[in-house]
């Protein structure tokens, strides 16, 4: 019998901005999306908030991050932090936090 390595299914990855870092190892990420109005065609910007697991507590409010779909980790957490793409400046972080 041979042992075949099973491939992990492709998981969604999204980019967003950290809104909150108040919880230990958990971040609230805002994921923006653009869509066209059905009748008028105007481009609209909408956003979703997702809870992501940050094992090392490395992200801060205002940082641009990449998150990946994962198994349910709690009632709300279904994403995990993959990497920090861009650090927020001190002024920008204070603005997001307030």
- DSSP states along 5-66: PPPPPP--EEEEEEEEEEETTEEEEEEEEEEE-TTT--EEEEEEEEEEE-TT----TT-EEE
Can you give the residue ranges of every domain in the chain? 13-97
Give pLDDT tens digits for 15-66: 999 999 999 999 999 999 999 999 999 999 999 999 999 999 999 999 999 9
pTM over 0.85: no
Q: Given 2.40.50.140, 2.30.30.30, 3.40.309.10, 3.10.20.30, which CATH number is that of 13-97? A: 2.40.50.140
């Amino acid at each position: 019998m041979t042992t075949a390595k099973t491939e992990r299914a492709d998981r969604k990855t999204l980019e967003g901005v950290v809104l909150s870092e108040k919880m230990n190892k958990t971040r609230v990420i805002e994921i923006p999306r653009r869509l066209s109005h059905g009748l008028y065609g105007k481009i609209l910007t909408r956003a979703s908030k997702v809870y992501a697991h940050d094992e090392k507590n490395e992200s801060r409010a205002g940082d641009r991050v990449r998150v990946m779909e994962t198994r349910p980790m709690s009632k709300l957490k279904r994403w995990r932090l993959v990497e920090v793409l861009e650090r927020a400046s001190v002024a920008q972080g204070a603005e997001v936090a307030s």
